């Protein structure tokens, strides 16, 4: 789970190129209350944490749309502010309270002007701390957990009249997905040319450092037919890539759900089913657990051209002793064999990972084993964190915590190695011609930016019309953070979705 990627993403920033024309009518008609009962109100959602939270933020905008809420990027104007929060590390959780301090002042200013500003805390801090949020920040109107946000409209309706913070951190037996409307709110972060789609929720793995099984509850997979219907709607609205999300996404096992099919689909089966959607060019999935990488899923990386050759496969540590203490359920060797099998199926596959350094009891020898594993794998990119003790998790109870300065020194050693690998990986792209899915305008006027099959951002000088399509670009320059390229001139040359060598048909064509 890339919990840092999306930190601070805001709902409301309309992305260029997201089939805006196609969506405009739909968004406008769905947002405007039909019986004139609700005046247009403004919603500001600030998202912390992983992609799952980005997806949930968009879904919260959907459930609030029928109440007349439309997104704004100006927090001062908001009638309702939602903080969608993350509890994964202490810093992430504490950020919420400093944010709330700022919001309290804003709320007062708006109230002085005779306007309301409702404050809602959603997401994993809401789930983990529930009543504590209400106690520490009594000016918060609503606290709602990730399983209960389909009830937001009722909570919002009551909040204006209530004096107390309303808290709902229940984990209802029924799936919230059965209560969410279709994508009413239109373009949102995480819903564009590349769109997130949550297919699996919760986690049963119970790694000893992790809060997710407690904040998100038990593993649950959405029925494949429901996922497919949502994917088709996203594609009809302009999505060309879908990123399937789950805390443990490769544990997916959803009811097939077709009229004739009473069976179950695993992730490989679901990918096959979604790949048949016309107009969908690319599929990705995140985050996977090494224990749930099945042979069928590994094969899919070699056989399904729409499945991109990139995989985020967190290992956390290279020491078997630490892996066992983390309850990861695999050894370093088993992970390396998985990497071998993935590379045999798809020699180009680029790998990414998460690492925790300074897990309780980690010795210098353990840490060296992590460095050795990293050197053996050669990652395209990776995220690394200092261990953070989380209340209620088994590792937090241990009495052999690693001193902060030791953990910090290890983290910077690891990050140096990972940074070098990333630099090498990007530098290796120079002069290659790659199919790029253009998603948005670049930083400078006249530029557009998109992703290579390997997840790197690449920008070229080019027209906005490119946004929403795959085009070939030749890489001119590489930095650790991305690539610069030029559109390959020979439109019409046959290319392969991965390396520019075969059929163009599945790629949406090169715009003239």
Three-class secondary structure assignment of 231-249: HHHHHHCCCCEEEEECCCH
- What is the helix (H) or strand (E) element at residue 486, kind and residue range? strand 482-487
Rounded CA separation 146/176 (Å) = 9
By CB under 6 A, tell whether 433 contacts ligand SAH: no
Count, residues near ligand F3S per rule CB under 6 A:
16
**Minimum distance from residue 424 beta carbon to ligand SAH (Å):** 23
Span of 35-43, 156-164, 184-192, 207-215 interacting with ligand F3S by CB under 6 A? 207-215
Rounded CA separation 88/53 (Å) = 12
Q: Do residues 139 and 119 touch, judged by C-beta distance below 8 A?
A: yes
User: Could you tell which of ligand SAH, ligand F3S, ligand SF4, none binds residue 49, using a CB distance below 5 to 8 A set by kind?
Assistant: ligand F3S
Site pattern 85..124 for ligand SAH (x: CB under 6 A): ---xx-----------------------------------
- What is the helix (H) or strand (E) element at residue 372, kind and residue range? helix 364-377
Token pair 């992790």: residue: 210
Crossing angle for the helix pair 332-345 and 295-303, nearest 10 degrees? 30
Rounded CA separation 51/482 (Å) = 20
Residues 86-115 that bind ligand F3S (CB under 6 A): 86-88
- Taking CB under 6 A as the criterion, the residue among 72, 388, 421, 433 binding ligand SAH is 388
Instruction: Please count the other Cβ atoms lying within 10 Å of the Cβ belonging to residue 318.
Output: 24
**Minimum distance from residue 302 beta carbon to ligand SAH (Å):** 23
Q: Is the dihedral of CA 318, 321, 323, 325 positive or negative?
A: negative
**Minimum distance from residue 2 beta carbon to ligand SAH (Å):** 7
**Minimum distance from residue 215 beta carbon to ligand F3S (Å):** 5
Residues 233-262 that bind ligand SAH (CB under 6 A): 247-248
CA Rg, the chain, in Å? 23
Rounded CA separation 319/60 (Å) = 41
Span of 157-165, 254-262, 381-389, 469-477 interacting with ligand SAH by CB under 6 A? 381-389
By CB under 6 A, tell whether 490 contacts ligand SF4: no
Token pair 């064509």: residue: 509
Alpha-carbon dihedral 438, 444, 446, 448, rounded to 10 degrees: 0
**Minimum distance from residue 389 beta carbon to ligand SAH (Å):** 7
Residues 264-303 that bind ligand F3S (CB under 6 A): none
Residues 117-136 that bind ligand F3S (CB under 6 A): 123-124
Rounded CA separation 51/37 (Å) = 34
Residues 255-294 that bind ligand SAH (CB under 6 A): 287, 289
Q: Do residues 494 and 485 touch, judged by C-beta distance below 8 A?
A: no
Closer by beta carbon to ligand SF4, 58 or else 210: 210
By CB under 6 A, tell whether 89 contacts ligand SF4: no
- Taking CB under 6 A as the criterion, the residue among 20, 45, 50, 243 binding ligand F3S is 50
Rounded CA separation 276/434 (Å) = 23
Span of 95-103, 271-279, 380-388, 431-439 interacting with ligand SAH by CB under 6 A? 380-388
Query: Angle 389-391-395 (CA atoms, 0-180°, nearest 5)?
Result: 50
Residues 310-339 that bind ligand SAH (CB under 6 A): 314, 316
- Taking CB under 6 A as the criterion, the residue among 93, 103, 134, 212 binding ligand SF4 is 212
Closer by beta carbon to ligand SF4, 286 or else 469: 286
User: Could you tell which of ligand SAH, ligand F3S, ligand SF4, none binds residue 426, using a CB distance below 5 to 8 A set by kind?
Assistant: none
Taking phi first (over 0 means left), then psi (-120 to 50 degrees means alpha), and beta for anything else, what does residue 402 get? beta
User: Could you tell which of ligand SF4, ligand F3S, ligand SAH, none binds residue 221, using a CB distance below 5 to 8 A set by kind?
Assistant: none
Q: Of the candidates 238, 148, 138, which has an alpha carbon nearest to the alpha carbon of residue 186?
A: 238
Q: Which two tokens stand for residue 56?
A: 């949930």
By CB under 6 A, tell whether 289 contacts ligand SF4: yes
Q: Which two tokens stand for residue 316?
A: 């956390």
**Minimum distance from residue 206 beta carbon to ligand SAH (Å):** 11
274: cis peptide before it, omega within 30°? no
By CB under 6 A, tell whether 212 contacts ligand SAH: yes
User: Could you tell which of ligand SAH, ligand SF4, ligand F3S, none binds residue 206, using a CB distance below 5 to 8 A set by kind?
Assistant: ligand SF4
Q: Of the candidates 450, 489, 454, 444, which has an alpha carbon nearest to the alpha carbon of residue 469?
A: 450
**Which residues would be at the binding site for ligand F3S (CB under 6 A)?**
1, 3, 49-50, 52-53, 86-88, 123-124, 211-212, 215-216, 247
**Which residues would be at the binding site for ligand SF4 (CB under 6 A)?**
203, 205-207, 210, 212-213, 247-248, 289
**Which residues would be at the binding site for ligand SAH (CB under 6 A)?**
1, 3, 88-89, 209-210, 212, 247-248, 287, 289, 314, 316, 354, 356, 385, 387-388, 390
């Amino acid at each position: 789970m890339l919990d840092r990627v999306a930190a601070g993403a805001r709902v409301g920033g309309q992305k260029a190129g997201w089939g805006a024309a196609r969506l405009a009518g739909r968004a406008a008609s769905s947002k405007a209350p039909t019986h004139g009962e609700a005046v247009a109100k403004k919603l500001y959602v600030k998202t912390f944490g992983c992609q799952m939270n980005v997806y949930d933020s968009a879904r919260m905008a959907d459930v609030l749309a029928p109440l007349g809420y439309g997104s704004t990027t100006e927090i001062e104007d908001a009638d309702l502010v939602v903080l969608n929060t993350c509890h994964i590390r202490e810093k992430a959780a504490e950020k919420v309270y400093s944010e709330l301090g700022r919001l309290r002042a804003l709320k007062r200013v708006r109230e002085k002007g005779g306007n309301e500003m409702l404050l809602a805390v959603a997401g994993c801090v809401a789930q983990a701390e529930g009543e504590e949020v209400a106690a520490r920040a009594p000016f918060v109107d609503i606290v709602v957990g990730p399983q209960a946000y389909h009830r937001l409209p009722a909570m919002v309706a009551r909040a204006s009249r209530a004096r107390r913070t309303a808290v709902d951190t229940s984990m209802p037996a029924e799936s919230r997905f059965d209560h969410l409307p279709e994508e009413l709110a239109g373009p949102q972060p995480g819903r564009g040319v590349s769109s997130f789609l949550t297919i699996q929720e919760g986690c049963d793995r119970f790694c000893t450092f992790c809060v997710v099984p407690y904040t998100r509850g038990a593993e649950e997979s959405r029925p494949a037919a429901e996922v497919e219907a949502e994917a088709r709607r996203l594609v009809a609205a302009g999505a060309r890539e879908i990123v399937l999300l789950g805390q443990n996404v490769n544990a997916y096992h959803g009811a097939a759900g077709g009229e004739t099919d009473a069976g179950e689909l695993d992730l490989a089966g679901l990918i096959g089913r979604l790949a048949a959607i016309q107009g969908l060019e690319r599929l990705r999935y995140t985050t996977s657990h090494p224990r749930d990488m099945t042979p069928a899923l590994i094969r899919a990386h070699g056989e399904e051209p729409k499945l991109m050759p990139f995989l985020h496969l967190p290992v956390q540590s290279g020491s078997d002793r630490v892996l066992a203490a983390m309850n990861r359920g695999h050894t370093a060797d088993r992970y390396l064999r998985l990497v071998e099998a993935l590379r045999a199926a798809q020699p180009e596959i680029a790998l990414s990972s998460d690492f925790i350094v300074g897990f309780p009891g980690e010795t210098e020898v353990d840490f060296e084993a992590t460095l050795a594993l990293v050197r053996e794998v050669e990652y395209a990119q990776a995220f690394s964190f200092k261990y953070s003790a989380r209340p209620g998790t088994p590792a937090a109870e241990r009495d052999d915590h690693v001193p902060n300065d030791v953990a910090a020194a290890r983290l910077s050693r690891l990050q140096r190695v990972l940074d070098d690998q990333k630099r090498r990986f990007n530098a290796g792209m120079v002069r290659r011609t790659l199919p790029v899915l253009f998603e948005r305008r670049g930083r400078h006027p006249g530029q557009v930016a998109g992703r290579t099959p390997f997840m790197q951002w690449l920008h070229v000088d080019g027209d906005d019309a490119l946004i929403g399509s795959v085009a070939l670009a030749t890489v001119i320059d590489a930095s650790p953070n991305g690539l610069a390229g030029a559109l390959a001139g020979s439109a019409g040359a046959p290319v392969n979705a991965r390396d520019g060598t075969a059929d163009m048909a599945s790629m949406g064509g090169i715009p003239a």
